[in-house]
Amino acid sequence: MKTANQEIMPITRKINEAGNVEIGGCDLTELANKYGTPLYIFDEATIRSMTRSYKDAFKSYPKMRMMYASKAFMTASICKIMEQEGFGLDLCSGGEIYTAKSAGFDMKKTLFNGNNKSYKELKMAADYEIGTISVDNFYELMLLNDIASELKKEVKILLRITPGIECHTHEYIQTGHLDSKFGFDLTTLDEAIDLIINEYKNLKLSGLHAHIGSQIFEKQVYYDEIRVIFKEIKRIKDKYNIELNEINIGGGLGIKYTEEDKPISVYEIAQTIIDSIEKHSKEYNIEPPYVYIEPGRSIIGTSGVTIYTAGSSKQVPNGRRYQAIDGGMSDNARPSLYQAKYTVEVANKPEEKETEMITIAGKHCESGDILAKDITLPVIEEGDVICFYDTGAYGYSMSSNYNRVLRPAAVLVNNGKSDIIINRQTYEELIQTDVIPERLMNA
């Protein structure tokens, strides 16, 4: 059964009677006029479709704990949707923790993850009574135990390990192989467990956490990851007489950015994961554990598009034609970071013949500010609305104020209605944290 991550476009995308692209019952050209551009647009139906696909795919395994990976895209409104859909939250920073708490999310249904959590962040997590903290290193173990001791609390933890599994994805988004900044190496895991047993009495170890990367198109890596985790759980049980009853297998399922991408469905990974759990539970004589899974990109990526307004253009003699837009690397860093590719459409003339090869350039003072290279589109004129698909994940969350460009607004669309979920940044907000020292004022 196909799931929305296998489609390039949101499930509600269509061409309306005016000949324009419509998503969530809203004309993209009208949204550009109403809210301005650049503009992030999220299709609520696609988001909910993916959360429900995950729940349906794993329904035969009742010990699943669905956790949305907030790093992909997080706002108070997204927290509300995840709460309504029965998902917990995987959080990676104090800012994400604060957002969830401010949105009224049940913090018992959250997990705090990350490789260099600060004392302040860990204290916040303990104060807010986050459900589980995934501990990444020895320094963090010490900090967290000190905090828990001060608060006279017992904090439930997972130990994150590097399972030594590589998936075929960009090297920057591989996290499971041995040469990684994340997690305890398996050779040091016993040292961590010894500390928890003998010294860190305020920490309650409940399981292991591993993550194998992002934008994954393979089933086998999930099977292998679970095998490695179960092998460690069995070894720990035999050595320490500790029965760990929780595992976190991360997320990472890929989405379809272009026709070249061939992601697998949620149902395919679900069957692989369940098969691996059942096989290795029997093989190692271990009670089937509670299983956290942390989808992010696959939940939110396909739901999101970013629209821009076409501006100036340039024809290089005997070379490329550049078409500039009113955004760029500050609202979508992925092409610069990962050489990411996207499917692009002219939203106000999607049915016109694609006759012109162009390179879409951002407005920033940076030669690397290119969002799409050598793609074919209809002839573009100033004022046309350019739509980039599959920008829901890591567009806004990686955005910046490079060149002091303002961060765009974001809207949620559904059944013909559009609602602001992030206001467009203003120049006043841009400078509100700037400070001029008095000695400069008096110079």
- What are the catalytic residues? 365
Q: Give the whole-angstrom CA distance, residue 168 versus residue 225.
A: 14
The pair of structure tokens assigned to 101 is: 């708490």
**Residue showing tokens 């994400």:** 96
The DSSP letter of residue 180 is: -
- What is the SS3 assignment for 171? helix
The pair of structure tokens assigned to 252 is: 């990472």
Q: Give the whole-angstrom CA distance, residue 96 versus residue 92.
A: 6
Q: Give the whole-angstrom CA distance, residue 5 versus residue 42.
A: 14
Per-residue burial over 101-130, b if 16 or more Cβ lie within 10 Å, else e, is: bebebebebbbbbbeebeeebbbbbbebeb
Torsion angles phi and psi, residue 237, rounded to 5: -60, -45
Return all residues near 308 (Cβ < 8 A) that are at least 6 apart.
37, 38, 325, 326, 327, 385, 386, 388
CB atoms within 10 A of CB 180: 17
Q: Give the whole-angstrom CA distance, residue 184 versus residue 385.
A: 48
The DSSP letter of residue 251 is: -
Return all residues near 194 (Cβ < 8 A) that are at least 6 apart.
none
The amino acid at 58: F
